[in-house]
Amino acid sequence: MAKITLKINGQEVQVEEGATILEAANQAGVYIPTLCYHPYLPLEEACRICVVEDVRRGWSTLVAACVFPVREGMVIETDSEKVQESRKTILELLLSDHPNECMTCQATGQCELQDLAYRYRVRPDIYTGERHRLPVDSDPNPYLHIDMNKCVLCRRCIRACHEIQGADI
């Protein structure tokens, strides 16, 4: 398969044609945060936390790295001010209808969303959406703990049950 050469944060990277920006970044050891993405699942593009800056001559645009394919000569910035601001806003919107205690929740250290909230210094109350009051642990399965109040609709768990376990209802 043909090879594509692009630059990620100034570093030249060569990947197979058809690869996504996220795959190219992973190959180059460059971190891009993800929530809805999982390598074993079909692409969903639900959360947009993987945005990166696609820099072109005289202008740039934000694209979702998990779905956007690489192009020859592409210039990508994964940690620019524009990218950081965008990820922060995305997180603040995701948390707008989330339980208020995200920053101090008991999941400390075991929650990708909370890790990102700290990383991007989100202001948890900047947008005030409706706070849900759904029953916790309503699923009788003893191996699952489900709190839909904290769901960010990335659909990763749903797709894992459907695509990998074949265990959706």
- What gap in Å lies between CA 90 and CA 96, rounded to an integer? 10
| 77-136 positions binding ligand FES, by CB under 6 A | none
| 50-69 positions binding ligand FES, by CB under 6 A | 50, 64, 66
**Measured from the CB atom, is 2 or 53 closer to ligand FES?**
53
The answer to whether 47 contacts ligand FES (rule: CB under 6 A) is yes
**Measured from the CB atom, is 42 or 142 closer to ligand FES?**
42
Query: Tokens 């459907």 — which residue?
Result: 162
**Measured from the CB atom, is 125 or 150 closer to ligand FES?**
150
Q: Parallel, antiparallel, or unpaired for β 75-77 and 3-8?
A: parallel
Number of residues that bind ligand FES (CB under 6 A): 12
Q: CB 143 → ligand FES: shortest distance, Å?
A: 26
Span from 46-54, 72-80, 103-111, 160-168 in contact with ligand FES (CB under 6 A): 46-54
**Measured from the CB atom, is 134 or 164 closer to ligand FES?**
164
Q: CB 151 → ligand FES: shortest distance, Å?
A: 14
**Measured from the CB atom, is 50 or 74 closer to ligand FES?**
50
Closest CA to 160 of 40, 48, 22: 40
| 23-42 positions binding ligand FES, by CB under 6 A | 34-37
Identify the three-state secondary structure at position 140.
coil
The CA angle 69-154-55, to the nearest 5 degrees, is 30
Sheet holding 75-77, edge to edge: 11-16, 3-8, 75-77, 51-56, 59-64
Strands (E), the chain: 3-8, 11-16, 51-56, 59-64, 75-77
DSSP 120: T
Question: Encoding tokens for residue 66?
Answer: 């998990």
Instruction: List interacting residues with ligand FES (CB under 6 A).
Output: 34-37, 45-50, 64, 66
